[in-house]
A = this chain, B = another copy of it.
Amino acid sequence: MTDVAQLADVSPSTVSLYLRKPEAVSPAASQSIAYAIEKLNYVPNFMAGGLAAASSRAVSILVPSVRNAFFAETVSAMQAALRKERLQVILGHTEYDEREEEDLVRMALSWAPAAIVLTGLSHSAVTRRLLARTSVPVIEIWELGGPQIGAAVGFHHDQVGIAAAEHLFKQGRRNLVFLGARMHEDRRAKMRCDGFVACARAAGVEVEIVEHAAPASVEVGSTLLQETLRLHPQTDGIFCSNDHIALGALFACERLHIAVPKQLAVIGFGDLSFSAACNPPLTTIRPSGDLIGCEAARLIIENLAGNRSQDKLTIDTRFTVLHRRSS
């Protein structure tokens, strides 16, 4: 930076200012600085900058896994939005493990990030303590309806379950089953299940739950459907914890010559890549993973601009019931 300043015939602080707030530097100085940067192939050092400023232009995002299309979408949307403000994404995978999250938060703090984004509202006590001690803004995504550390951007998963139950009721279904996978890990799937069960119970209907120990997958969906028919042959409506399970169920129905939706109505969650295109097209509930990412990024950017007002803000991104031919 000193070299650039020398070549541009200004002081280093003017170069620094130019890099951070170009509009505050005179056009003449700007031009010669730009030339010098180009000429010298100057690459700024973010670590020196971050050290001096006691905070970096990095945002730490911690999700269970980016293999999960939901989080991939959110991470992608967020990175695109943050990129415009020249903010970098530091990614961490918690694998649904609070201890892992704790460790990742510790490392995240070492970068003095502009913000830390966590998935969900349940975190270990240590995580909460670590975060309470810092002034780094925290944003929790993909879940609403519990105690927040900072701002939260997401939706109520129990409401998803309620919407699913109401939808199936409207279709005249009364023998309902919830198909789930590994719900002890995926708390949000559990919440959808709970909302579904509670809503049905309020209408005098007892929901059966058929669960699998393996992580959600298309194959698990097929297995669960077979299991469902074996245990509860009367079933006329199923809500699947996500669209992978639902697709597997549809495939199994096809193989077993079960008419969907005539004999069995199927509703999923996620609106994944195949959901609109399969046979029959899958009725599902679409969570706005993109919107969650965009809104979270917006909060971070506003915060950076000085808007410290939205500390424990809650943004409900809602969800949409997509009624297609599987119900």
Which A residues form the contact surface with B (CB < 8 A)?
41, 43-48, 50-51, 56, 58, 65-67, 69, 72-73, 75-76, 79-80, 83, 86, 88-93, 106-107, 109-112, 130, 133, 217-219, 221-222, 244, 247-248, 251, 254-255, 273-274, 276-279
Contact = CB atoms under 8 A, between A and B. Distances in A.
A273 B69 CA distance: 11
A91 B111 contact: no
A45 B112 contact: yes
A43 B44 CA distance: 25
A160 to B, nearest CB: 21
A79 B111 CA distance: 17
Given A43-B109, A51-B48, A92-B79, A67 B65 contact: no
Contact of A47 (B66, B86, B112): B112
Taking each of A47, A50, A110, A254, which has the highest tally of chain B beta carbons within 10 Å of its own beta carbon?
A47
Contacts of A254: 279
A43 B248 contact: no
A125 to B, nearest CB: 14
Contacts of A47: 46-48, 50-51, 56, 111-112
A91 B82 CA distance: 12
Contacts of A133: 41
Contacts of A80: 93
A281 B309 CA distance: 54
A84 B109 CA distance: 18
A93 B110 contact: no
Contact of A46 (B86, B110, B247, B273): B110
8 contacts: A47-B47, A47-B50, A47-B112, A58-B90, A75-B91, A79-B92, A88-B90, A255-B279
Contacts of A107: 46, 86, 88
A58 B110 CA distance: 12
B273 A217 contact: yes
Nearest to A252: B277
A183 B101 CA distance: 39
A269 to B, nearest CB: 15
Given A217-B273, A219-B276, 17 more contacts: A45-B112, A46-B107, A47-B50, A66-B75, A66-B76, A67-B72, A67-B76, A69-B69, A72-B72, A75-B91, A76-B93, A79-B92, A88-B111, A222-B277, A244-B274, A247-B274, A251-B277
